[in-house]
Amino acid sequence: MITSSSAQASVVPAPRSDADPELDELQARLRAAEERVANLERALLSNRRIGVAVGILMCSRRLTDEQAITALVAESQRRNRKVRELAETLILTGTLDDPPDPGPRGRR
């Protein structure tokens, strides 16, 4: 059923009976598919960002792609940080080096 107000139309779902297990199954499958799409989109973006970080390491350290991936994974494990998080840091800073210690004046 469609109702309309002066501002906009909205769709009101028709009352349904709980006696329709097929509809419940279809709705569950739709929710699962939507969640899978969202997860795949996040994974694709993460993969691209990791690829950029690998490229930065290849250029800055003159590494092969395998060496750069190995270096990124090793640093991720050493710091106990996710590879995608470390990749973002590398993209922003251009390095995997730890930031310099600010010394006593920088601490509070």
Long-range contacts of 56-64 (CB under 8 A, 24+ apart): 56/90, 56/91, 56/94, 57/90, 57/96, 60/94, 60/95
Residues in the chain: 108
Q: Per residue in 24-58, pLDDT tens?
A: 999 999 999 999 999 999 999 999 999 999 999 99
Confidence of residue 1 (pLDDT cuts 50, 70, 90): very low
Output the average pLDDT for the chain.
85
**pLDDT confidence of residue 88:** 95
Inter-residue contact 3 to 13 (CB < 8 Å):
no
Inter-residue contact 83 to 50 (CB < 8 Å):
yes
State percent of the chain over pLDDT 90: 67
The whole-number average pLDDT for the span 11-28 is: 76
The whole-number average pLDDT for the span 8-36 is: 80
